[in-house]
Chains A and B, each alone.
Chain A
Amino acid sequence: MTGTVFDIGYQGYSGVREGRGRSRRAVFKDGLRAALGFGRGARAKILPWFFVFVLSAIATVMAIVAGAADRIGGAGTADKMHLPSYSDYNGIASIIMFVFAAVVGPELLCRDKRDGVINLYLVRPLTGSDYIVSRWAAFMTVMTAAAWLPQVILFLGLCGGDPKPAVYLAAHWLDIPRFLLAGLAMAAYTTTLALLTASFTSRRAYASVFLVGLFIITTPFTIGLAEEVAGTAGQWISMFNLTNIPVHVNDIIFGEISEITSEAPARLLAPWIRVAWYFAWTLIPAGVLWSRYRRLSP
């Protein structure tokens, strides 16, 4: 049996046009794909998935160690030995989260500017505000997932590793909303700073190097200076350690001091100051980022 292929020519589109809502969702979806390297070559996938793997591996190792301690020493041994847990994990992971945001975040904005794709977005039913909010939401989703996934692994590992999982769950269920909230705080802070820096350049490498340098330099600089200048001034200098800002919030959420901030003078400042400082470092950069893209629309 033979068939015939007919060229039916150009067909106009008379279907539904979903307007700005669809445009925003499309930019959001593309942001997710760009951050995780989907629809791109293999090289684009290496960095994001490497970071997700490292973060998950840390949580897995922590869960295995705590589970082994409980199996060998009986239920509650890990708690008695003060082995690192949810709060400490966020402290340990904070530096990796910063580097993750610094390396992957600029991909969402820099490439659009360098390739000129941003010009195509702005002639479609989309404003500059729609674009940047959608991109921010996309990277925030990726960073939140990167913050939550290892905590979920850790929780399942600790719960499953405990000789009495039900008892563990009853004793630790409140840690679930805590690590979810702390993960959100970490993701919002790192996402906003990474995208704000990326908004100033069309070169991803410049943004990444600047951000990593900023985090790396402020940490030893503020620690050293805070030790020299004691008292309240030293505590405020310690607040400029950019990697510690969301960890202080994490400490407040969990009601304990994590390993990474246990020596930081800023831990002695009132909780509301540390929370306000966190919001200042998240909301002000978010406002600047938004205003930079809002201006792109006439």
Chain B
Amino acid sequence: MRPVSGTPLLEIEHVTKKYKDVVALDDISFTITDGITGILGENGAGKSTIIKILLGLLQPTSGSARVLGEHASSSVATRARVGYMPEHDCLPSQVSAAEFLTHMAEVSGLPPDMARTRAADTLRHAGLFEERYRAIGGYSTGMKQRVKLCQALVHDPAFVFLDEPTAGLDPAAREEMLALIRKTHREFGISVLFSSHLMADVERTCDRIIVLRAGHLVHAGEVANFTRETELVFIDVDSNRDALVTALRRRGVVVTPESGGLTVEGSDVSVYEQVRDALVEARAPLRRMAPRRRELTELFEREEEAS
């Protein structure tokens, strides 16, 4: 049974996690409802630590973490209703995907006959049906990642945690994995918490975003709002660059010269109109103009400057 839409599935309240003197998470609070939520942050930001606390694998130093209304570390039964895809290797090389998934479904509490059926169905949805009787050790990296996702979904959880699901994948396999994650929520109805250090992956896949930096919560909200804040226009001209900068600034446009061109904040129609007028005024021949996203590190620098 799926939780009612809009009810909090995960609740983190004032969670702090310390490893001796190192603060991995510092007074983090957020709530997650159904949908796909991305946790974005650089390596060491605390993404995996949050997931492990929610799964009950780690105890927070202070604060509380609830999954589907239950305390993560004390409710073993709740774990039957969540799935977890770890970042690192977790697959046995000797056994086939069908055998492994059947076993994991049984470990999640499904009867053996249902476990077999669920394993075959899940592998079919992940595009691994034809390969299901081959030993996992012979699979490509992309296929192994899909088996990792399948083991998290095989017992039909209400919520699934994906820790860096696109790590180590080539562009084609990465696209397939992101499509599968979208499918997990939109077709299977399973809500997802998905950690990544790649902003593009999170933006293209998630409905909501949580941004962490060095154990601090930097941003939590809808991806659409976050995307608006991160959009830029990149402009490259053949000459009269300085005159163009002056013309843009006179119009109140925030412009930053950088190697190879200029970046202008915002991406709505009015920004493009201001740029057009400034180019005409500065008599600057336009070579290239394209929308661009701010890098994650750039965002963090802005947050720091603002604070």
What residues make up the interface of A, taking CB atoms closer than 8 Å to B? 9-20, 22-23, 25-27, 29-30, 39-41, 44, 111, 115-117, 119-127, 298
Contacts and interface: CB of A to CB of B under 8 A. Distances in A.
Interface stretch (B14-22, B82-90, B206-214, B255-263): B82-90
Interface residues of B, number: 44
Interface of B: 1-2, 55-59, 73, 76-77, 79-80, 82, 84, 86, 88-96, 99, 103-104, 106-111, 114, 118, 121, 125, 135, 151, 155-156, 187-189
Contacts of B2: 12
Given A12-B2, A125-B79, A22 B94 contact: no
Q: Is the interface of B mostly helix, strand, loop or mixed?
A: loop
A115 B125 contact: no
Contacts of B135: 41
A40 B284 CA distance: 69
Nearest to B154: A13
A17 B108 CA distance: 8
B94 A40 contact: yes
Given A22-B106, A123-B57, 15 more contacts: A10-B189, A13-B118, A17-B80, A19-B77, A22-B111, A26-B107, A29-B106, A119-B86, A119-B88, A120-B151, A124-B79, A124-B108, A125-B109, A126-B76, A126-B107
A121 B151 CA distance: 11
A20 B76 contact: yes
6 contacts: A20-B76, A26-B107, A116-B86, A116-B88, A117-B90, A125-B79
A119 B84 CA distance: 9
A18 B110 contact: yes
A116 to B, nearest CB: 4
A18 B111 contact: yes
A120 B110 contact: no
A10 B80 contact: no
A25 B105 CA distance: 12
